[in-house]
Amino acid sequence: MKKIIINIPLILIIGLIISRVILVSCTKEKVAIPVVTNAPDPNCPDTIKFSTTITDMMNSNCTSCHSNGGTPPDLSAYSSIRDNASAILASMGVNGTMPKNMTKLADSTVQKFSCWISQGKMNN
């Protein structure tokens, strides 16, 4: 009788330890899934509109050379701006050379283009 009373808690503890080990090993095998958040970029407080901000930026600084069969990329068309977004950002960023032979764009202007990219290059 005494033996049974002692062994019940012991069995319970062993059971708990075994289930804990199984649980931990299962958790470790799981592949970490990257968390995709739609948290707004703190550097981009506003949603940048392609139809106004980006189009104005290109028309004021770039399309004189980059449209109508001029120097590629065509910076008057959404699809071309979308597809060349990284190169465009680099061209007018810190070490960029665009607009060619002209005053560099203001950091805040370049930032807007960067925000448009991080917001998903929308045709909005």
Q: What are the residues binding ligand HEC (CB under 6 A)?
A: 61-62, 64-66, 71, 73, 75, 84, 87-88, 91-92, 97-102, 105
User: CB-wise, 101 or 108, nearer to ligand HEC?
Assistant: 101
Residues 6+ apart with CB under 8 A from 75: 58, 62, 63, 66, 67, 81, 88
Q: How far is the CB of 40 from ligand HEC (least distance, A)?
A: 25
User: CB-wise, 19 or 52, nearer to ligand HEC?
Assistant: 52
Q: How far apart are CA 50 and CA 56, in angstroms?
A: 9
Q: How far is the CB of 101 from ligand HEC (least distance, A)?
A: 6
Neighbours of 25 (CB within 10 A): 9
User: CB-wise, 13 or 55, nearer to ligand HEC?
Assistant: 55
Q: How far apart are CA 24 and CA 47, in angstroms?
A: 43
